[in-house]
Amino acid sequence: MEGRYSALDTALEQLRIAAEKLELDTGIHEMLKYPKRTLVVSINIRMDDGSIKTFTGCRVQHNDARGPFKGGIRYHPDVTLDEVTALAMWMTWKCAVVDIPYGGAKGGVCCNPKEMSMGELERLTRRYISLIFDLIGPYRDVPAPDVYTDAQTMAWIMDTYSQMKGYSIPECVTGKPLSVGGSEGRAEATSLGVMFCVREAAKLLGLKMKNAQMVVQGFGNVGWNAAKIAYDWGCKIIGVSDSSGGIYCPEGLNPYKVYQHKTKTGSVVDFEQCKNLTNEELLELECDILVPAALENQITKTNAANIKAKIIAEGANGPTTPEADKMLNEKGVLLVPDILANSGGVTVSYFEWVQNLTREHWTLEEVNQKLENKIVKAFNDVYKTSEDEEEPMRTAALMLGVGRVAEAIRTLGLWP
């Protein structure tokens, strides 16, 4: 059964559990199963060799009862509509858990950016935005970076949207470079949010951060920055990985040097004085803290029994299947779920949006302090719900998020 779990299966099962615990009105539960709107587009671009190639893209808008749709755009060869729908649903709960006035959305283009030039990626981005133009905007749907998209991608989106409107609209997208209205701290925001959650979880277990052994799966923006922050806080990083494989160093490794190695060679594999291992082996290393920051469905019923971490903080979306969740809970692992752990990115995206709307620019200290306040409050809200309801942290976070969205729907009513 679990082998067939898709991200959407997982998201719908999580919603079912939350609806059951909340004794949610069946009509509202039914509404929340489906996105409000889904658009699938064919993106035709001219490649560098002069040929024309067609890519499939989509934008899924799940729910906007609490505010404009918000969610990243990912470029990946394995993007599917089901996956993007699940991610949009998780964004709805995530925004509600951290209590920012957004609903959830997600976008994706099925492509392999590693095999495309900057020119091809720019043409792809601008064409994609022109095709979803009528559905997005600062008060309707605000995109952001995700897997294999970055600040440059967001700058192209801002420029395309602004050119089509006829004037500069920086608030139409977040995660932009500082030079065109981006926020201080946005690049590290998701990772800093993960580490604030790790710190709060460690306090609950009486675990000291200094010399705590940490493993990070995924060495993209989230994983690399989480490893760097943890290292700066005094944690011992004993293992990291990327899509090519992982490395293990029981004495601890320097993530800054690993990053340099990856920049030079294209992977963390074969880093000096480290043992190479698979992503699967990496997840099962003995450690205090595990941060899965890669893709969905990495921790399953197949490997959950072999997970040895005391704390798991989900930097990725949906890295743990429902069956694995139960097993980890029975083992006493303190799991900080994705909709709480990785909400730092959307929180600072919200700060960026507010700064753009008011044409202000906050300092890094202001941004990080506001982020810490938001994340710590959200963590405490979820933990209190967990204690009061005698439920695991994931169920508590879902109850909180789904409950807040359901309350907004009830208050607004149905029209017409």
- Has 384 been annotated as catalytic? no
Q: Which domains does the chain have, with CATH numbers?
A: 34-171 (3.40.50.10860), 189-336 (3.40.50.720)
Q: Which of 106, 228, 236, 374 is catalytic?
A: 106
* Higher pLDDT among residues 71 and 147, named by residue: 71
Cross-sheet strand order for the sheet of 275-277: 275-277, 245-248, 236-242, 213-217, 289-292, 311-313, 334-336
Instruction: Please confirm whether the linkage preceding 138 is cis (ω < 30° from 0).
Output: no
Helices of type H across 98-216: 118-132, 151-165, 189-205
Of the candidates 95, 141, 108, which has an alpha carbon nearest to the alpha carbon of residue 339?
A: 95
| Distance, CA of 77 to CA of 85 (rounded, Å) | 16
Residue 406's closest CA among 96, 160, 155, 177? 96
Whole-angstrom distance, CA of residue 55 vs CA of residue 282: 34
Alpha-carbon distances, residue 49 vs 52, 64, 413 (angstroms): 9, 42, 54
In this predicted model, what pLDDT tens digit does every residue of 100-141 receive, in sequence order? 999 999 999 999 999 999 999 999 999 999 999 999 999 999
Flag the least confident range among 2-16, 115-129, 199-213.
Answer: 2-16
Angle between helices 322-331 and 7-22 (to 10 degrees): 60
Query: What is the band of 4 on the pLDDT scale with cuts at 50, 70, 90?
Result: low
Strands (E), 64-223: 69-76, 103-110, 141-145, 213-217
- Predicted confidence (pLDDT) per residue in 305-342, tens digit: 999 999 999 999 889 988 999 999 999 999 999 999 99
**pLDDT (tens digit, 9 = 90+) per residue, 255-286?**
999 999 999 999 999 999 899 999 999 999 99
Where would I find the beta strands (DSSP E) of 183-296? 213-217, 236-242, 245-248, 275-277, 289-292
pTM of the prediction?
Answer: 0.93
